[in-house]
Amino acid sequence: MTKEDFELLREAGYSDKAIELYENGVNLGFIKNPDVAFTYTGPCGDTIKLYLKMNHNGIIEDAKFQHWGCPGSAASASMITELIKG
């Protein structure tokens, strides 16, 4: 990400943490043979596909996402996948 891109996102109101999550793509990808997979498309058209792998006790061991949309929804999906594990 260029410095100009970073500044543009900051001016748009994104926090440093949101920009970091967007830039680094934390948990971006997919899980082969997930236990749960679902897709959500918001009213703005942003789409997130979430993949979950669970253990025999129903605990989420891994979470990944694919994303088509704005940096805010990418950062949100990234944070969600971090928070729901374990």
In this prediction, residues 15-20 reach a mean pLDDT of 90
Looking at residue 50, its pLDDT comes to 98
DSSP string, 27-83: TBS--SS-SEEEEEE-TTS-EEEEEEEE-TTS-EEEEEEEEES-HHHHHHHHHHHHH
Map out the domains of the chain with their CATH numbers: 3-83 (3.90.1010.10)
Looking at residue 21, its pLDDT comes to 87
Output the pTM of the full model: 0.83
pLDDT tens, residue by residue, 20-72: 888 888 899 999 999 999 999 999 999 999 999 999 999 999 999 999 999 99
For 31, 36, 38, 57, 71, the CA distances from 19, given in Å and listed in that order, are 24, 28, 25, 34, 8
Looking at residue 39, its pLDDT comes to 98
Looking at residue 34, its pLDDT comes to 98
